Structure formats: C-alpha cells, structure tokens
Chains A and B, each alone.
Chain A
Amino acid sequence: MTRQMTGAKMVVQALKDQGVEVVFGYPGGAVLPIYDEVFQQNDIRHILVRHEQGAVHAAEGYARSTGKPGVVLVTSGPGATNAVTGLTDALMDSIPIVVLTGQVPTFMIGNDAFQEADTVGITRPCTKHNWLVSDTSKLSETLHQAFHVATTGRPGPVLVDIPKDVQFASADYTAPTKARTSHYAPQVKGDMEAITELVAALETAKRPVFYTGGGVINSGPAASQLLRELVEATGIPITSTLMGLGAYPANGERWIGMLGMHGLYEANMVMHDCDLMINIGARFDDRITGRVDAFSPNSIKAHIDIDPSSINKVIKTDIPIIGDIAHVLEDILKVWKSRGRKVNREAIAKWWAKIEDWKKVDCLAFKQNGKVIKPQYALSRLEALTKDHDRYICTEVGQHQMWAAQYLGFNDPHRWMTSGGLGTMGYGFPASIGVQMAHPDSLVINVAGEASWLMNMQEMGTAMQYHLPVKQFILNNERLGMVRQWQELLHGERYSSSWSEALPDFVKLAEAFGAKGIICKDPDDLDDAIMEMLNYDGPVIFDCLVEKHENCFPMIPSGEPHNKMLLGEASTKDAIGSKGAVMV
C-alpha cells in the first residue's frame, strides 16, 4: 500500500520511521512547510536552538551519548552555512548525524535567490555524503538512505538538501524497509588470516599494548564488552586516545591512562617501548604519534579499523585488519581461546613492573597551595564529588579539555563528549544540551574555558527554554590558555591576542537568562560551591577563577617522539626545535 503525501509530511514520517525522537533546529523561509508539519504532531520533539552551529553540536552530543544518530533541521543559505563547522566536527570524530536543510525552490536554484547557497557544494567535503533532492518522489527513499549511510561503516555526518517546492509537492511515501539503501555496505568481518596472525603475535609478545580509540565506542556496547574481556583475559596494558575514553574503564586494573600529546607519561612510554602495538579503532592521529619517524620504533603494529583508508595512512602497519571492532574482537577472542589462551605471562609481568616504575613519576601530580585555585585541583574536586553520579561530561577545546581528560575518570562508553579531531571551541555547551535532552535525569557537566564557552553562549536561551539543567563548569583563567602556553613555549612569551578582556560577570550573565550563577575563587570554598551547583535544579554557570598561567603537562612537544615528554615547567626551555615549531 502506498501513501501519497507532501514532501514536508514525508520528512516527518521518515524521521518517525527511523525512530527519531528529537530534532535540533532553527526555522527559516525555505523549511517552513516542514516546520508546519512538525507543529502538527507530537511524536518528534523539536528543540529550538539559538544558532545553527549549536544545533549540530547538540545533535553530536545526543548521538555520542546514545549511539543513535542526531538530527538537525535548518533553513537554506545562512542556516546551512552555519552548520558547516558542526558537520566538519562530526566528520573528523565520526559522529552519525543527519542534517536536513531547506533550499530555494528548484526553479530558482542557480539564480542567486534570497538565502540561496550551494549547500551540497559547500558541504561536500565536510559530509560523509550529501544529497540534493530535486523530486518529491525520491525524497523518502533518500532520507532513509541518509540514515543508512550516517550510521553504517565508519559513522559520519550526512546532509539532505530539500528545495521548498519539493516540500510542497506530493508523491508516494516509501517505507524504510522498501528503500534501496544502495550498494553501501562496508565490510564488517575481519580477515581470519590476519586475525590469526595477530593472535600469534599476541601469544609471544613480551611488551604488548592495546591502543584504543573512538572506533570502539562507535562500534557499540558489544565492542566495549569484548574489549574488556580481552584485556582482562590477557592482562595486557591498555591506553586510549581522547576519543576512546570510557571504552575500557578508568578504574580497570589494566588501564594506564590516556596517551598522546597531553597523555600520561606511563602511557606514552609504553607506546614507545612496546614490541606489539594493537591499535583498535584509532587512527594514528598526529596528537598521538608525535614525530612519525621515531614513533614506537621497535614494535609490530596491528591496526583494526572499519575504514580501509585509515590503514597505512600515517604509520606503516604490519597486521592490518579491516572490519567492525566488535566483529573482529569477537573473532580474536575465539581464535585466541581455541589456541589455548596463551600469553607470555612471565614477560608481561616484567613489562608491568616497568610500567609501575613509570607510574611512580606521578606525572599528574600538582600542588594546591596558596589562595588561588589550580585548574587541576578544581577538576580533581569535581571528579571526587561527581564520580558516583550518573554523569556525562562534555568539554570545550583547550587546556581545560586536556585536564578534564587527565583528571576525570570514565568507566563507561558514551559518557565523554569532546571535539577531538577538529578541536572546535564552542562545541561543549551545545553538546551538553544534546546530551541532557537524551538523558534528562542524568548529571550533565560541560567543563569549559571562559573563551570557548563564550563562542556559543547564546545557547543559554535553549537550556532555559527546555529546562535542561546543564552545569557549565568554567575554568576561568582570563586567557586562551592553550594558545598562551604555545606562545610561551614557541613564540618568546609574546602573548599576542591570547587573553580574554572585557569578560562578562558570569553570575550576572546567568541571572540575566534566569539561570543560577556561582563564582568561586578560593580553594577552601570549592567543595561547597560544587555541591551548590550539583544541588541546584536548573542550568548553572559556574565561574571558577583559576591560576592564570598554569600550563598543561605532560606534553610531547611538537616534532618530538613519545619518550621526549615535558613533565613540568623546568623542562620547557628550548624544548621545541625549529622543525617542531612549524607543526601545530
């Protein structure tokens, strides 16, 4: 049985059929027919953001915290161009989102019409795929394909551009089960020969390490479970990228902390000295590898990834396995068990002894003395006071983000929302709104810097309108802290435009929106102030005034390998050579 309906109605029907509950968006001339349909139903909730960039980040937060695709609805022209940063962010971090944009009617396309932009042209390089729908009869099928592409294989953002006349015209609706999802079907099963080779390497390795990434989380809950089983059964140390935190619990026995530019000393030393590196769903990003030609020089490298283009892109891989993490881990466990559950226990015990020595460096140690709050102290207290909550953490981008990754512990996947690949300042606040929408009864905290937070502060309106009790925990150093740190290390302490002048009074700002503002500048008041934030039922802006010149350590200076980490202020002089200075 086919059903005739308008394109606008089809959009709403397709979203319902795809199980969508929430849409983040902003109306405008070219999407009015769709908004009219949204108005006349109650199954899908529309969240009116205050800027289209916020809509996309909110959808990312929703997607990242649920594993379901996030959905965005915006208008043509500026609505679409404002979504570009979020699309790029989602592409870099492999977040499944579906963005629907209005477009001027088909007969006006190319005429420089009001609010016309070449949306599919502009977003082609920042989406996994995009479509301009020129015929209503193809609309519903295209929408189903969009969900399929966004969520299959390596997830990513997709965009469907819908001209206004296509929204008004009527055609037959195609149900999801009837839609051709084209030929797009990435390989999920890994090559058994390669898996067997990996297991053989694992059985004899003396200094193995699991290096995991966001792919484990994207693969779904089964992947995290299988990873935990594999780690516990083999006793091999595990580190993770920023994007992969929570796949293996931070309180797990084999956890050695995050690796990379601001990763833990022990994790980076393990990466440098290992003899078998098993990369699971990570992509050898430059924040991880440091100097590529000196990266883990003596190890066999295995790489499990669903995206063939990740293999050998940066680091030469000895054992590549293309497939979905959960499928591959299942096969690895199966093969490993059938071969007698062997590992080189003796050598791995020695390996752990060495790791324990590295841990003694205590690279995250800090001294909270005096009357100024250290950012590390603020996050340590936040961790202590919230770790037993049903908690989700978002961040903005910069020093606070790295400190959050270092000092907060994540014991489950989907609990940590951060902009990794693109490094988008302004991501965290709208993301926290998306997370809170998905988890209305959970504690959602956005760890922010004052500069990042101001980039999307207009979303306070959204938080208030929908009663979303997001906690904005701002580490306010009145500086663009990470920029300042690099200027100190690389540019002769000339702090060009890296301080925040004319900052608002955050307490008054909160009050202006009808939210609660809390300011804290004394370490002795911090616990009480955090408790006040947690106990308040509504959005809170927490202005935590912290040490202004604190630098983020450990740090692998650009252009250096893992074992050349800086651990503190004393080691920073001339740490970055001229070759490193050109890198970011």
Chain B
Amino acid sequence: MSALKIKKGSTKHSAYNLRPTFSDVVEAHTLAVVVENEPGVLARVIGLFSGRGYNIDSLTVAEIDHEGHRSRITIVTTGTPQVIEQIKAQLGRIVPVHEVHDLTVEGPSVERELALLKVCGEGDKRVEALRLADIFRANAVDSTLDSFVFELTGAPEKIDAFAELMRPLGLIEIARTGVAALLRGH
C-alpha cells in the first residue's frame, strides 16, 4: 500500500510519488471511498463527479460499520491519469470522506459484481440457457415453466459475457449491483 492516499493527514507521501501524469491514455480505475455515514454524503460524492464532469461507470454504496458510522463507496471511473489523480484529490477534500483508495494502483484487487438475469424461452433454448448457466456457475433462483431468473456473481467481464450468451436465448431483463472490490492479500 505504497500508493498515495490523498486524504489529508492519512499519508506521509506528497503528490511527489505520483505516477506520470499528463498522459492522454484513458484508464479505468476502481476507487474505494470510506465515508462517514451521514445524510447527504452520497450526494456530495455524486455531485462532485457531475459538477466537475468526471465519469461514473459503476457505483455501489452500503454501510460497512454500523457502530463506527462508516459506509464504503466503490466507484469505477475512467479518465486520463491526470483526471484520475484530480478525482482522488477532490474526493479527499470532502469533509466526511475518511479514506480514498485507488485499488487499481494499490492492487491487485478482487472485483465482484452480482447480477440477476431473467431469461424466457422454451424447448432447446431453455435447455441451452440452463446448460450455460451451469458452466458460468450461475444459480437459478426463480423458475417458471417458461422463464428463469439466474443469479451470477463475478467480475464485470464475466457478467457481460454471460449476458451476451443469454441474449439470443431469451434474456429480457437484467439487474446488476455494480462493482464491490477489495485489495488482495493482507
């Protein structure tokens, strides 16, 4: 965890140890933001992204420590290195933000998303859907004579791949949670 933690006072590193900024290459980064669980804190984070024109590809939020009033917001965002550094610094300025981690830099990390997919079909298509679900280790959590609801957990790419396969087999609805992520190791 040598990378910069920009949140004030939380690091001895200055912006001094940053990766080369001002490259034009757009990168995707997964940020974990630990915040004080108080009213409006999510609006502050989202307002920052919309107000300054940053991208949000995925966002999840839930309380992680009830007694300590902490929530964890996981944001997948894209931008040039300069923009990513700005996003982290701007997040760090928000008063109820305790920690900002760039899991892409501090990594490696595990990223998981949960999806529910409703697939309608009969005959061969229905059998094929079930067979593919087995390969992907998706669970059928609801079933009627002409539909399934599959539950699938995995990296976003795996869910994308599964959804693509289900499309010709009668995929009619999909709900995804967005990415939750943790650093690997200790």
Report which A residues bind B (CB closer than 8 A).
Answer: 120-121, 124-125, 128-129, 132, 149, 153, 182-187, 190-191, 193-194, 307-309, 311-313, 316-317, 319-322
Contacts and interface: CB of A to CB of B under 8 A. Distances in A.
Contact of B8 (A125, A132, A186): A186
B95 A182 contact: yes
Given A186-B9, A312-B86, A321 B14 contact: yes
B87 to A, nearest CB: 9
A184 B95 contact: yes
A308 B9 contact: no
22 contacts: A125-B47, A128-B95, A132-B40, A182-B36, A185-B8, A191-B16, A193-B16, A194-B14, A308-B8, A308-B15, A308-B92, A309-B86, A309-B90, A309-B92, A309-B93, A312-B15, A312-B18, A312-B85, A319-B16, A321-B14, A322-B14, A322-B15
Contacts of B93: 307-309
Contacts of A132: 39-40
Contact of B95 (A120, A129, A194, A307): A129
Contact of B82 (A182, A308, A312): A312
A149 B95 contact: yes
Nearest to A145: B95
B162 to A, nearest CB: 39
B98 interface: yes
B44 A191 contact: no
B14 A191 contact: yes
Interface string B30-65: 000000100110011001000100000000000000
Contacts of B12: 191
Nearest to B21: A312
B160 to A, nearest CB: 33
A321 to B, nearest CB: 6
Given A309-B92, A316-B21, 4 more contacts: A125-B47, A308-B6, A309-B90, A316-B22
B14 A313 contact: no
Interface of B: 6, 8-9, 12-16, 18, 21-22, 36, 39-40, 43-44, 47, 51, 82, 85-86, 89-90, 92-96, 98
Contacts of A317: 15
Contacts, number: 72
A320 B16 contact: yes
A190 B96 CA distance: 23
A309 B89 contact: yes
B85 A194 contact: no
B10 to A, nearest CB: 9
A194 B47 contact: no
A233 B121 CA distance: 83
Nearest to B81: A312
A182 B18 CA distance: 28
Closest 5 CB pairs of A and B: A309-B89, A129-B95, A191-B14, A186-B8, A320-B15
Contacts of A128: 95
A242 B43 CA distance: 33
B8 A313 contact: no
B57 to A, nearest CB: 21
Nearest to A311: B15
A125 B40 CA distance: 12
A553 to B, nearest CB: 33
A313 B47 contact: no
Of A120, A185, A312, A316, most B-chain CB atoms within 10 Å: A312
A307 B7 CA distance: 10
A193 B94 CA distance: 27
A309 B47 CA distance: 16
A344 B32 CA distance: 47
Contacts of B85: 312
A322 B90 CA distance: 14
Contacts of B44: 124
Contacts of A193: 16
Contacts of A311: 15, 89
Contacts of B95: 128-129, 149, 182, 184
Contact of A120 (B6, B9, B40): B40
A185 B9 contact: yes
B36 to A, nearest CB: 8
Contacts of A322: 14-15
Contacts of B40: 120-121, 124, 132
Contacts of B21: 312, 316
B66 to A, nearest CB: 18
Of A153, A183, A186, A308, most B-chain CB atoms within 10 Å: A308
B22 A308 contact: no
A502 B131 CA distance: 81
Contacts of B86: 309, 312-313
A124 B15 contact: no
B62 to A, nearest CB: 21
Given A149-B95, A185-B8, A313-B86, A124 B43 contact: yes
A581 B86 CA distance: 27
B90 A121 contact: no
A120 B47 CA distance: 13
Contact of B43 (A121, A149, A321): A121
Contact of A187 (B9, B16, B51): B9
A309 B18 CA distance: 13
B67 to A, nearest CB: 16
Contacts of A307: 89, 93
B49 to A, nearest CB: 12
A308 B89 contact: yes
Nearest to B50: A125
A194 B94 CA distance: 26
A317 B86 CA distance: 13
Nearest to B18: A312
Contacts of A121: 40, 43
Contacts of B39: 132
Contacts of B22: 312, 316
Contacts of B98: 183
A126 to B, nearest CB: 10
